[in-house]
Amino acid sequence: MATVRQQLRANLVALVSLLVALSTLGYSAWRHEVTEDNRTLREAAFAMLRTTEELQSVVDFAHYDGNPEAGNPIKGWGMVLYLRDLGAATFAR
Tens of pLDDT, residues 41-71:
999 999 999 999 999 999 999 999 989 899 9
Looking at residue 93, its pLDDT comes to 63
pLDDT score of 92 more than 90? no
Looking at residue 91, its pLDDT comes to 80
3-state secondary structure of 2: coil
Write down the domain spans for the chain: 10-92
Instruction: Say which amino acid occupies 28.
Output: S
Looking at residue 31, its pLDDT comes to 98
Looking at residue 89, its pLDDT comes to 83
Residue-averaged pLDDT of the chain: 93
Helix axes 12-60, 73-90, angle to 10 degrees: 160
74, 58 contact by CB (below 8 A): no
- CB count in 10 Å sphere of residue 3: 8
Q: What is the pTM of this model?
A: 0.69
